[in-house]
Amino acid sequence: MESYIYIDGWKEKIRFSSAHVIPEYEKCGRLHGHTYAVHVKLYGEPDDKGIIIDFSIIKENLKDIIKKIDHKIILPKKSKFAKIKIEKNSINMNTLGKNYIFPKEDCILLPIDSTSAEKLSCYILDNFIRKIKNYKNIVKIELGIDEGFGQGARVSIVMRN
């Protein structure tokens, strides 16, 4: 029998609001923002107490990851379409022939090539795996973010413990 537990980020307030630019798409190539919600499903074997992992552990770890990007301008360090230059107090991003200058403290640079919902989901999942790697009974994780209500991306990984 397969079991999983899940967290709905909208209902459990695992949410963040951030701004980004996606130069690969014309409409998204202008600075704009979203409220995101993080959802997760964890598949695994219930332990001798009958649970896979405590809900509160999942929520605390997800909140810990997203608090770093909440109310920030998210910039993709590895973008092929945006040139990002870090100055002393500011970050300069050149893309689509436009030049943005942001205060450094308002930004978070992530090790991803795009700030799409898909790539942000991968970033959050990578960080989440590191936090729960000691739970050897978890066999698969599906994680994703909604970019506003009704649309989002999901990524999944099979754990090889």
Location of structure tokens 């979203």: 34
Catalytic residue among 32, 45, 60, 71: 71
| CA–CA dist 59, 96 (Å, integer) | 38
Location of structure tokens 């973010």: 145
Least Cα distance to 9 among 53, 75, 58, 80 occurs for 58
Catalytic residue among 28, 34, 118, 122: 28
Instruction: Indicate if 107 belongs to the active site.
Output: no
| CA–CA dist 53, 81 (Å, integer) | 40
Q: List, by residue number, the catalytic residues.
A: 28, 71, 147
